[in-house]
Amino acid sequence: MFIDSHQHVFWHGRDDKGLIADMDAHGIDVSWLLSWEIPPSEDSPGYHGVLNPQHFRGDGTHAGIPLSDLILTRDRYPDRFVVGFCPHPCMGNAPAAFEAAYKILGVRVCGEWKFRIPFDDPRSINLFRKAGELKCPVVLHLDIPYMPDEKGVLRYEPHWYGGTVANLERALKACPETIFIGHAPGFWREISGDADKAVGSYPSGPVAPGGRLYELFDNNPNLYADLSAGSARFALSRDPGHALKFLTRYADRLLFGRDYYGTELHDFLKTLGLPEEARKKIYGENALRLVPQTPMRK
């Protein structure tokens, strides 16, 4: 079974029919649909052109990718989607809201967690623990708050999410019963030991020894990662030989995902010569293990 573990809908110019057409064109059986709840204080104008215009607010901000769009799509195509939802930890009673979505609407993934609050904030931890109690994996977006420029001076990044890998590790330790799935540029830059000095969201050049991802994976069995968006693909393509070793070593905890359309990730993975056992785990078996309720395509 071919599962895309990180996807959105009414996104980048395509509605639900457009997403299904893309999945069919590329042989994807099931996708995890993830929400992105954006309060006005965290508005991201750079995304306004790729989100559903129905969800613009009167103040000019955008609500993001709400749960309602996901449920609408899932109910139209019930054998093709798993629904994810992540309420903002600072808004109301987030653990209760997630549990209600689990019980009433069949949500089975907590994601996408993409908020300007540290992963280890007590409000985040409360939500993560609820997800763990319900056996729902949490999909995390990590973008670091400070990044070095060409001169090595740290500059504030206003569109940060989650904090740093140190915040992530503290959350992993605080919630051992919760499965976390790492994602995004701030996560994948840590594949290389020079992450603290690397310029830009998508570092290039050979992967240096000592990447913190190794320590995070080895010391935290509740950490997984998806390969979605450009962040994972760019990190892996820096050194294809290293990528093959990394993917094989952690094949039990990596998930295929796109966060968009097309075949760029699939095309790259095919060039690596992955062992068949690792390929099967990454392309579907791991996702099925995390969400056993995954529908079977008719």
pTM for the full model? Answer: 0.98
What residue ranges do the domains of the chain occupy? 3-290
* 105, 67 contact by CB (below 8 A): yes
- Cα angle 32-34-39, degrees, rounded to a multiple of 5: 175
β-strands 146-148, 254-255: how paired?
Answer: unpaired
pLDDT of residue 45: 96
Cβ neighbourhood burial of 100 (10 Å; 0-12, 13-18, 19+):
middle
pLDDT of residue 297: 78
At residue 162, φ and ψ (nearest 5 deg) are 95, -35
Size (the chain), residues: 298
pLDDT of residue 19: 98
Mapped onto helix, strand or coil, the DSSP state of residue 195 is coil
If we measure between CA atoms, which residue out of 146, 178, 149, 139 comes closest to residue 163?
146
Q: How far apart are CA 77 and CA 297, in angstroms?
A: 10
* 140, 183 contact by CB (below 8 A): yes
Q: How far apart are CA 203 and CA 192, in angstroms?
A: 9
pLDDT of residue 298: 67
If we measure between CA atoms, which residue out of 38, 43, 35, 47 comes closest to residue 60?
43
Mapped onto helix, strand or coil, the DSSP state of residue 163 is coil
pLDDT of residue 53: 97
Q: What DSSP character marks residue 294?
A: P
* 71, 83 contact by CB (below 8 A): yes
CATH of domain 3-290: 3.20.20.140
Residues of the chain with pLDDT under 50: none
Q: Tokens for 279?
A: 């390929």
Q: How far apart are CA 274 and CA 285, in angstroms?
A: 15
